[in-house]
């Protein structure tokens, strides 16, 4: 399969993953951010840098999210054994313990561990969880949290359409 030891790590991974996809060992799946934890060996065991996570998220939101850049995102299924799963979750739990305002907690329902696009996935997970952000422009000034929506009560909408119909 691979006989060229002069290939770099990324080139080796691309060749191996291509082969494993062809053999139907690897598979493609759309995964929601709240299903992802950071692989315990990501970035040499350091996981994600929380302030970089928010800075990258801010850039994505300012520039627009190009989902084609996420096509190469890769994750590993979590082990079904509960003791091994707990060990796999430990890194993300420790990052959360250090920065509980800025990163989403582990829910116990995660199924995958990121080995690429970790900062992006954890940023979106933090948005879903309504976390705070060190990037002031990302948070609602009243709540101090990301992803706060302005909610229109149903009766305001109904009144609006009544008024529009009489005009």
**In whole angstroms, how far apart are CA 65 and each of 80, 135, 159?**
33, 18, 36
* Residues 52 and 20 grouped into a single domain: no
Query: What is the dihedral angle through the alpha carbons of 73, 49, 110, 44, rounded to the nearest 10 degrees?
Result: 70
Tally of structural domains, the chain: 2
Range of the domain at 155: 31-166
What's the pLDDT tens digit per position in 67-114?
Answer: 888 888 999 999 999 999 999 999 999 999 999 999 999 999 999 999
**N- to C-terminal Cα distance for the chain?**
73
Which of the four pLDDT bands, split at 50, 70 and 90, describes residue 2? low
pTM of the model: 0.82
Instruction: Sheet with 75-77: list strands edge to edge.
Output: 36-38, 112-114, 75-77
Q: Do both 128 and 64 map to the same domain?
A: yes
Q: Identify whether residues 13 and 45 lie together within a single domain.
A: no
């Amino acid at each position: 399969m691979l006989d060229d030891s002069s290939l770099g790590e990324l080139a080796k991974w691309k060749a191996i993953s291509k082969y494993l996809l062809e053999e139907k060992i690897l598979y493609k799946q759309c995964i929601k951010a709240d299903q992802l934890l950071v692989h315990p060996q990501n970035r040499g065991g350091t996981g994600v840098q929380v302030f970089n996570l928010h800075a990258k998220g801010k850039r994505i939101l300012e520039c627009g999210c190009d989902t084609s850049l996420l096509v190469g995102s890769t994750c590993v299924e979590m082990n079904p054994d509960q003791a091994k799963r707990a060990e796999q979750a430990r890194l993300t739990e420790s990052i959360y313990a250090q920065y509980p305002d800025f990163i989403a907690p582990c829910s116990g329902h995660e199924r995958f561990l990121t080995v690429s696009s970790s900062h992006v996935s954890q940023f979106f997970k933090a948005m879903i969880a309504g976390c705070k952000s060190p990037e002031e422009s990302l948070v609602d000034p009243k709540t101090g949290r990301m992803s706060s929506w302005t909610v229109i009560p149903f009766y305001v909408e109904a009144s609006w359409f009544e008024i529009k119909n009489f005009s």
